[in-house]
Each structure stands twice: as structure tokens, then as C-alpha cells.
């Protein structure tokens, strides 16, 4: 078990050291923040799981519903929060990221709204990390973005727009949902190929085959949860495509996008 340590964030109210951590590979410095929900009905059990030896999971920070923030792993160390994941050419997400677990029961347990005090705390925490670490806003991501076939968190109720209003995360106003032709499971076309190329350019791990397969549908679903939460159905409609292209258009240039890779 790690001895107690001084929190990296001035707004962390408690330190509960986790037994589950290691060194960042190749001396990587974190240049990404990944947001999760705990997905368990019991708060104490969720914290225990993240801190107890043998569970093989941890996060740097845990944000409680009342806005209190617990740090469990020092930012310099590698927490075990991302699992098998990918973003923008990077497969060892744990080595290049700060993991933030947000207490919320999740989709399997009723999926309540995130309290305003909790979101305010997440924003303040992320702003501090971004400032200290020089992390650009487009490198604040959902667990579902980096593991779209496995994860839903923090989900479509998470108010990414509120974070973006405070400078945390990349966001554009989602394009309105209209009746029109769509790309969906089973489609095979150049349009599907272009869609997959656009998602890959943004950072998603997606097969670029021209075939709208299961993994492609998973990526579209994950994208909608984050960037177009009004309808999450895995169908690439005009709204989804327009929102994706608007995000690509106002991304920083490639030099910024490359991060510390």
C-alpha cells in the first residue's frame, strides 16, 4: 500500500492512497484527462474498489456527489483506469493520462443526473490539472471515447457543454436532428469510408474499411454520448456527421494535436 502523500490538487479534500498503481511507461508525462463514472450503487464500495489491492483498478481522483474530491494516486504515477483503450495513435492510455472517477451509479443502476456541485468540482479539478500539465481542451475525454466497444461512461447525461463553457473539453453546439438519409449498420460505401476516416482523424480507434460494422456503430454511439447526446442510437445521421465535421474544423493544428506522443 502506498504511504499517504500530499495531494497534487489544492482542492482535493482527502487522500485515500490506492494500492493499485505503477510507473508511467517510458517516462511519459500525462497529456490527457479521462473522465469515468464509478457505475456502482454504493459509494463506499466504489471507493474501496478503487483503493484496495487485488481489484486492479484505480484512478488519480474520485469526485463525490457533494463536490468533495479524494486523490488516490499521485499524478506522477500511472493509475489503472483506462483498460484496453486507444486514442489518436496511443494504446497505453494509462501512461499518458490522469484518470478521474465521478461517483454515479451509472446505466446499470438507474443512471441519476450528476449534481451541480459535483460538476462544479469536476470543472475546477480539470482546470487545475490542465493548467499544471499543459493539457489542451481536446484531450479531455470520456472513457467511452477511448473504449467505445466496452464502455458507456460517463454517458449521455454528463454535461460536457457545461465543462466546455468553463474551458474544459472540446465542444461545438450539436447540429440539429433532421429527417434525412443515414448511414447505419450494414451500409457499404465511400460515404462510410469517409465517415470512418473522419472519426480516425479525430482520434477514435475505428476500422477504416468502408463497411458500417459493429465497431463502427460502437464508435458512432460513443461519439453521440459525448457530442450529440439528444439521440444515442449508433446511426450516423446528418446531425452526427455535421457535428463531427464541426469539431474537426475547429481542432488545433496537427502539431498541437500530436501532444507529447
User: Average pLDDT in the 105-119 region?
Assistant: 97
> What's residue 260's pLDDT?
37
What are the tens digits of pLDDT across the range 22-33? 999 998 999 999
Q: Do the bridges between strand 77-79 and strand 69-71 make them parallel or antiparallel, or are there none, so unpaired? A: unpaired
Query: How distant, in Å, are the alpha carbons of 94, 104, 149 from that of 85?
Result: 9, 22, 10
What are the tens digits of pLDDT across the range 113-128? 999 999 999 999 999 9
Contact 60, 73 (CB under 8 A): yes
User: What would the CATH number be for the domain defined by 14-165?
Assistant: 3.40.80.10
Fold matches, 14-165 and 190-257? no
- β-bridge partners, 34: 99, 141
Q: For the chain, give me the number of helices (H) and strands (E)? A: 9, 8
> What's residue 1's pLDDT?
57
Catalytic residue among 75, 90, 101, 156: 101
Question: Where do the structural domains in the chain lie, given as residue ranges?
Answer: 14-165, 190-257
Cell of 10: 489544492
190-257: CATH topology is: Muramoyl-pentapeptide Carboxypeptidase; domain 1 (1.10.101)
Give the global pTM. Answer: 0.95
Question: Band of the pLDDT at 190, cuts 50, 70, 90?
Answer: very high
Cα(57)–Cα(44) distance, integer angstroms: 15
Is residue 90 part of the annotated active site? The answer reads no
User: What sign does the dihedral 147-197-220-240 (CA atoms) show?
Assistant: positive
Amino acid at each position: 500500500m502506498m504511504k499517504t502523500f500530499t495531494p497534487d490538487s489544492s482542492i482535493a479534500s482527502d487522500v485515500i492512497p490506492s494500492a493499485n498503481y505503477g510507473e508511467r511507461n517510458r517516462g511519459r508525462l500525462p497529456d490527457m484527462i479521462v473522465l469515468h463514472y464509478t457505475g456502482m450503487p454504493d459509494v463506499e464500495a466504489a471507493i474501496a474498489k478503487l483503493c484496495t489491492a487485488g481489484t486492479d483498478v484505480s484512478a488519480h481522483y474520485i469526485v463525490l456527489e457533494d463536490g468533495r474530491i479524494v486523490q488516490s494516486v499521485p499524478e506522477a504515477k500511472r493509475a489503472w483506469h483506462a483498460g484496453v483503450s486507444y486514442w489518436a495513435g496511443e494504446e497505453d492510455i494509462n501512461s499518458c493520462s490522469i484518470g478521474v472517477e465521478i461517483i454515479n451509479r451509472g446505466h446499470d443502476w438507474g443512471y441519476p443526473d450528476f449534481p451541480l456541485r459535483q460538476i462544479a468540482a469536476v470543472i475546477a479539478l480539470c482546470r487545475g490539472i490542465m493548467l499544471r500539465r499543459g493539457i489542451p481542451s481536446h484531450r479531455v475525454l470520456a472513457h467511452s471515447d477511448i473504449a467505445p466497444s466496452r464502455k458507456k461512461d460517463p454517458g449521455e447525461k454528463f454535461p460536457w457543454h457545461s465543462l466546455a463553457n468553463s474551458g474544459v473539453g472540446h465542444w461545438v453546439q450539436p447540429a440539429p436532428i433532421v429527417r434525412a438519409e443515414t448511414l447505419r449498420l450494414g451500409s457499404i460505401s465511400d460515404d462510410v469510408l469517409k465517415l470512418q476516416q473522419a472519426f480516425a482523424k479525430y482520434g477514435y480507434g475505428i476500422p477504416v474499411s468502408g463497411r458500417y460494422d459493429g465497431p463502427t456503430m460502437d464508435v458512432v454511439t460513443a461519439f453521440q454520448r459525448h457530442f450529440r447526446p439528444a439521440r444515442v442510437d449508433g446511426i450516423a445521421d446528418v446531425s452526427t456527421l455535421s457535428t463531427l465535421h464541426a469539431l474537426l474544423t475547429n481542432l488545433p493544428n496537427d502539431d498541437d494535436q500530436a501532444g507529447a506522443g
